Amino acid sequence: MTAARRIVDADGLEALTMRRLADALKLQLPAIYRVFTNKQTLLDELAEAILAEALPDGRGDHWTAEVALLAGQLRTALLAQRDGARIVGGSYAAKRNTLTYADRFVGIMRQAGLDGTAALWATSTVFCYVLGEALEQQGQSADALDRLDRNAARETYPQLFATPVEEIVNFDERFEFGLGLILDGLRQRLHSAGPAEPGAGRARPAPAPPRPGHRPS
Amino acid sequence: MTAARRIVDADGLEALTMRRLADALKLQLPAIYRVFTNKQTLLDELAEAILAEALPDGRGDHWTAEVALLAGQLRTALLAQRDGARIVGGSYAAKRNTLTYADRFVGIMRQAGLDGTAALWATSTVFCYVLGEALEQQGQSADALDRLDRNAARETYPQLFATPVEEIVNFDERFEFGLGLILDGLRQRLHSAGPAEPGAGRARPAPAPPRPGHRPS
DNA sequence: ACCTGAACACCGTTCAAGT
DNA sequence: ACCTGAACACCGTTCAAGT
């Protein structure tokens, strides 16, 4: 597994072939299939290994801090591995670590006061957003911004070039901004009863009754 | 191009090979390279073709309606093509249609009252979120939910199974929920001066001065 | 100028044959 | 029971040779 990650880190996901992995492990090619039955299961386990780093050790004192921590740690885990977002996004297995991550996230949102369905959807919203951001960041080639003809583009895309376009590539602040939007949206749903009281905190405990029509099988 | 899309729709992105495309076009294999210099340029043009459908014809009367329209149309375009999210997410070219989309989005956000950088980041937030959701939706195999052992999972992931988990797969409402969170966050930033007045609308026009330190070259 | 046959250097995967 | 050599059926890409 570490050998596989090293290959991807060095030469990208395309370079990860069963043959190169066998070479790195000083095995003959068919011996790999005794460890991984498939290339897909290899990729699935790679996704698992990446997501193992997505769970923060500590805990935030407030649900907003906890969500920021979980989202940030997931992002860090994806970015720590070259092509990490593509690996995780391309693995469609019910990954154990994804479920652990989701379980913790859902727990925080329910404790904050969201009902079950909203807690579930909030989890998927943050997960999808973080994945999308990491995918874009890792896909951006270094010279992508410089490659387009600024003078021509300035006339074709006037609105876009009325902004400081270099800020697209300010990934850290860009991520904080987007996450902040989602957090604000969540805050608003938790305070929906009374008028918005910015930074007041202290959410009601969740009743969160599971739906009556929930089939157990 | 339509031949390529037909192959992907029929048998998935993996089935799109230069050989099969040549067959479908009743050409010999090397003749394809007279049209597309690369397989990557073929994929880039595929991404372009998908994104061409992402721009809505009409316009919303309010900025919230316009954002919902743009996000929804992008999602529809991605979902309309099998593996559409993977194709668009895997293409790192400065796509013309992406820029057109971004230009319109940025324009709306600036008109709503956001400054240039915020308008840029808001665009990328929505784009990344929509892409992430579509990626997850298209990656979900039909039986993914049924495959995991519910009884064992109920004990390992208690928070998760305290919710109606089938709702993860309710993609349309899940998307509306997540987009709603982002929209609420944007609304809040536009009303940051006074106290929140839900649904009041009427944002201040944007001054949006381009940064002084902006290098033209 | 355009198209083609044939090949190159790779893939993932399998399997009979060895030890 | 484990490992290996060799092959199978594919890939993307190239190029000398034809018309």
Asked if residue A20 keeps its beta carbon closer than 7 A to nucleic acid strand C, the reply is: yes
Is B28 part of any domain?
A: no
- Distance from residue A19 (CA) to nucleotide C12 (C1'), in Å? 9
pLDDT score, position B118: 98
Which tops the pLDDT comparison, B211 or B71?
A: B71
Residue B135: closest CA among A155, A66, A210, A130: A130
Q: Which residues neighbour A33 within 8 Å (Cβ) at sequence distance 6 or greater? A: A18
pLDDT score, position A143: 66
Is B208 part of any domain?
A: no
pLDDT in tens, B107-140: 999 999 999 999 999 999 999 999 999 999 999 8
pLDDT score, position B191: 86
Q: Which residues neighbour B96 within 8 Å (Cβ) at sequence distance 6 or greater? A: B48
Low-confidence residues in chain A, pLDDT < 70: 142-147, 193-217
Kindly report which listed range (A81-85, A186-190, B145-149, B200-204) carries the lowest average pLDDT score. B200-204
Tell me what percent of the residues of chain B surpass a pLDDT of 90. Answer: 76
Is B42 part of any domain?
A: no
Neighbours of A180 (CB within 10 A): 17
pLDDT exceeds 60 at position B193:
no
Asked if the Cβ–Cβ distance from A103 to B168 is below 8 Å, we say: no
Is A40 part of any domain?
A: no
pLDDT score, position A163: 95
Pull the structure tokens for residue B140: 């979900």
Is A161 part of any domain?
A: no
- Tell me the CATH number at A182: 1.10.357.10
The number of domains in chain A is: 1
Residue B79: closest CA among B67, B87, B68: B87
- Distance from residue B29 (CA) to nucleotide D17 (C1'), in Å? 16
Is A144 part of any domain?
A: no
pLDDT score, position B140: 82
pLDDT score, position B194: 38
Is A201 part of any domain?
A: no
Is B73 part of any domain?
A: yes
Q: How far apart are the C-alpha atoms of A97 and B146, rounded to whole Å?
A: 18
Domain that includes residue B133, residue range: 53-139+170-193
Note the pTM of the prediction, 2 decimals: 0.88
pLDDT score, position B142: 63
Q: How far apart are the C-alpha atoms of B78 and B60, rounded to whole Å?
A: 21
Task: With both helix axes pointing from N to C terminus, report the angle between B2-11 and B39-51 in degrees, rounded to the nearest 10.
Answer: 90
Name the residue among B136, B178, B186 with its Cβ closest to that of A121. Answer: B178
pLDDT score, position A32: 93
